Chain A
Amino acid sequence: MENGIKASFVVNKRRKIIQALVFALFRAAAVINGAALLIVVYFMVAKGWRAISWTFLTQPPTDSMTKGGILPCIVGTFLLSVGAMAIAFPIGVASAVYLNEYAKPGKLLRIVRLGINNLAGVPSIVFGLFGLAFFVIYLNFGVSLLAGCLTLAAMSLPVIIGSAEEALKAVPDTYREASLGLGATKWQTIFRVVLPTAMPGILTGGILGISRAAGETAPIMFTAAVFFTPSLPRGVFDEIMALPYHIYVLATAGTHIQETRPLQYGSSLVLIFLVLGMNLAAIIYRARLRKKLG
């Protein structure tokens, strides 16, 4: 009897030790992921901050891209991502309204959802090919800001739909019932009650969409971006320069790869700063919203 208790005590101790070890391993995995982000950001800041100056941010490149600034790239990336969002945002929000407010469970809904999920899984380079074949060649937009915006819009649509749907789901049903109970139609309820309540969350998704579009390279390399333009874009049919493409070309092609390293680090730092800044703002804002609604 005594021995049995002793034995089970030993077994329990062993189980506890194994558990502690495995949990430490799990914790290490979580720490590695966080560390990976911090390491990348740290290296870019450490190597890139010296390149950042007022001239770097406000001047076009000079001396066949080996000196000067990245203003046209910043402008191009801004136009591309904001333009893409201007197209994708209304379509995405309306899709989410249909999915969350109108659609009834069934085959049709299943197909629509499958379409959205698959669109989210299409590789970015395939969006690039599609943009090239459809917008650039078939619709004859040429390599242009417009073709780039449309391609990026197609790519960010699932992101917008996903976050808008989440925001709509968070609106309590009592709001809808109260509005319908007062005699409002379904559309009036959606337009005057549900959408305004969900709007902060939906806008957060929009910010995430912009940041995602700003960081993408593959979809714009055949549709919008060129290595050099003599001036800032004047219309939607102009070719443009963009930060991610600029980094890629400077780092991999041309004869000045080593010389332009500081410019590459500097451009990467600016891109990281833009993208992570927008994301961080969206994440913090969303956390606050959740606290308020929950």
Chain B
Amino acid sequence: MTRRQIKEIGIQRLFFLIAATSIILLAAIAFFLFMEGIPIFQKVSVKDFLFGKYWYPTSDPPDFGILALIIGSLAVTGVSAAVSIPLGVMTALYLAEIATPRFREIAKPLVELLAALPSVVIGFFGMVMVAPFLQRTFGIPTGLNLFNAGLMLAFMSVPTICSISEDAIYSVPTSLKEASLALGATHLETITRVILPASISGVSTAVILGMSRAIGETMVVLMVAGGAAMIPGSLFDPVRPMPASIAAEMAEAPFRGDHYYALFATGIILFLFTFIFNIVADQISHRYRQVGEASL
């Protein structure tokens, strides 16, 4: 082997090592979460931690049950999904299929910029603008609640859902569309019966990633969700999702005390939720990938 070849192989190995940084980081994140979170399970069983209804980490004796936090997270994600999925998918369909190039050119950057809005600004907006509005309109005691947080989160996940679905819709082969139109279907029928089914894997991936973003988002739920660690009974109840609990309490939790360990353990649960979402999204996009034109 010449020196030149040896150098080439060396460079290739080096690049591989650098590319592995992401995996190493992911593993390190998991490792440190578990290292700092596992000790709580010497005090509380996994079952009591996950299904305990009471989160009173600073009482004496403390209660470390995060069921209300998990339900809080699922509830805000559910509310946000109910808004963001139709909004995101319809926008994607409009931009990819119907919009004039001019409309597209204006609307696409706007959606991209919506994704760029800092979460703390969206949270602040929800606090000072949306909350008083909800309070007045619905005559409720506080505007900082499940509904407000879900709504703000929806506008954070719409760009994710919209841009990934749009790519999927855009890549449906034109021949499928032409065949449908030639058979006499209207444009709408073509969209609902041909284009959407053909791009369903991409659209599902988009929806799951959008929900993953919503469940992990911190600042919005910290500022807008109301912060009560209880299982919500209505859309206008305040909630305390997992990220809000971690962000709000970590500063006060004594270093390597039970409360500190419990917050890291909450981080593990949150990490696992998003990890599962991402694996599922990845599986869907790989398994049902459109191959060639005859796969329908």
Residues of A within 8 A of B (CB): 15-16, 18-19, 22-23, 25-27, 29-34, 36-38, 40, 43-44, 91, 94-95, 97-99, 101-103, 111-112, 114-130, 132-134, 138, 154, 157-158, 161, 185-187, 208, 211-212, 214-218, 221-222, 244-245, 247-248, 251-252, 261, 264, 268, 271-272, 275-276, 279-280, 283
Q: Which of B107, B159, B187, B216 contacts A125 (CB 8 A)?
A: B216
Task: Tell me which residues across on chain A come within 8 A of B246, comparing CB atoms.
Answer: 125, 128-129
- What is the distance, in angstroms, from A102's C-beta to the closest C-beta of chain B? 5
- What is the distance, in angstroms, from B113's C-beta to the closest C-beta of chain A? 6
For residue B208, which residue of chain A has the nearest CB?
A121
Measured CA separation A215–B23 after assembly (Å): 25
Task: Tell me which residues across on chain B come within 8 A of A91, comparing CB atoms.
Answer: 18, 21
Given contacts A121-B209, A211-B116, A217-B118, contact A18 B218 (CB under 8 A): no
Task: Tell me which residues across on chain B come within 8 A of A130, comparing CB atoms.
Answer: 28-29, 32-33
Measured CA separation A115–B7 after assembly (Å): 28
Q: Which of B26, B90, B212, B270 contacts A119 (CB 8 A)?
A: B26
Instruction: List the count of A-B residue pairs having beta carbons below 8 Å apart.
Output: 266
Q: Which of B22, B91, B222, B278 contacts A26 (CB 8 A)?
A: B91
Task: Tell me which residues across on chain B come within 8 A of A95, comparing CB atoms.
Answer: 15, 18-19, 21-22
Measured CA separation A286–B127 after assembly (Å): 34
Task: Tell me which residues across on chain A come within 8 A of B25, comparing CB atoms.
Answer: 119, 154, 157
Contact B250–A123 (Cβ < 8 Å): no
Contact B282–A268 (Cβ < 8 Å): no
Q: Which of A112, A215, A251 contacts B223 (CB 8 A)?
A: A251
- What is the distance, in angstroms, from B242's C-beta to the closest C-beta of chain A? 8
- What is the distance, in angstroms, from B159's C-beta to the closest C-beta of chain A? 8
Most chain A Cβ neighbours within 10 Å, of B4, B86, B246: B246
Measured CA separation A112–B107 after assembly (Å): 34
Measured CA separation A138–B256 after assembly (Å): 13
Interface of A is mostly: helix
Contact B86–A29 (Cβ < 8 Å): yes
Task: Tell me which residues across on chain B come within 8 A of A23, comparing CB atoms.
Answer: 94, 98, 188
Contact B29–A127 (Cβ < 8 Å): yes
Most chain A Cβ neighbours within 10 Å, of B93, B124, B125: B124
Given contacts A33-B107, A130-B33, 18 further A-B contacts (CB under 8 A): A23-B94, A26-B91, A34-B107, A34-B114, A95-B15, A98-B16, A114-B282, A117-B278, A120-B278, A124-B218, A128-B247, A130-B28, A216-B119, A218-B119, A244-B120, A247-B124, A252-B223, A276-B116
Measured CA separation A43–B124 after assembly (Å): 11
Q: Does B111 contact A (CB under 8 A)?
A: yes
Contact A126–B271 (Cβ < 8 Å): yes
Contact A218–B247 (Cβ < 8 Å): yes
Q: Which 9 residue pairs are nearest across A and B when measured between Cβ atoms? A: A123-B216, A215-B118, A115-B23, A29-B90, A98-B19, A19-B188, A26-B94, A98-B15, A218-B218
Contact B251–A222 (Cβ < 8 Å): yes
Q: Which of B94, B110, B223 contacts A37 (CB 8 A)?
A: B110
- What is the distance, in angstroms, from B83's C-beta to the closest C-beta of chain A? 10
Contact B116–A215 (Cβ < 8 Å): yes
- What is the distance, in angstroms, from B110's C-beta to the closest C-beta of chain A? 4
For residue B223, which residue of chain A has the nearest CB?
A252
Task: Tell me which residues across on chain B come within 8 A of A94, comparing CB atoms.
Answer: 15, 18-19
Q: Does B267 contact A (CB under 8 A)?
A: yes
Measured CA separation A237–B209 after assembly (Å): 36
Can you report 8 residue pairs joining A to B where beta carbons are below 8 Å apart? A29-B91, A36-B114, A44-B121, A125-B218, A126-B270, A252-B222, A264-B124, A283-B113
Task: Tell me which residues across on chain B come within 8 A of A118, comparing CB atoms.
Answer: 26, 275, 278-279
Task: Tell me which residues across on chain A come within 8 A of B76, comparing CB atoms.
Answer: none
Contact A121–B275 (Cβ < 8 Å): yes
- What is the distance, in angstroms, from B244's C-beta to the closest C-beta of chain A? 9
Interface residues on B, range: 35 or more
Contact A134–B270 (Cβ < 8 Å): no
Measured CA separation A247–B21 after assembly (Å): 33
Q: Which of A19, A37, A112, A217 contacts B19 (CB 8 A)?
A: A112
Contact A40–B122 (Cβ < 8 Å): yes
Given contacts A218-B218, A268-B124, contact A15 B186 (CB under 8 A): yes
Q: Does B158 contact A (CB under 8 A)?
A: yes
Q: Does B71 contact A (CB under 8 A)?
A: no
Q: Does B139 contact A (CB under 8 A)?
A: no
Task: Tell me which residues across on chain B come within 8 A of A212, comparing CB atoms.
Answer: 116
Task: Tell me which residues across on chain A come within 8 A of B11, comparing CB atoms.
Answer: 187
Contact A129–B33 (Cβ < 8 Å): yes
Contact A138–B274 (Cβ < 8 Å): no
- What is the distance, in angstroms, from B285's C-beta to the closest C-beta of chain A? 9
Name B89-126 residues within 8 Å CB distance of A. 90-91, 93-95, 98-99, 103, 106-107, 109-114, 116-125
Contact A32–B87 (Cβ < 8 Å): yes
- What is the distance, in angstroms, from B95's C-beta to the closest C-beta of chain A? 6
For residue A158, which residue of chain B has the nearest CB?
B22
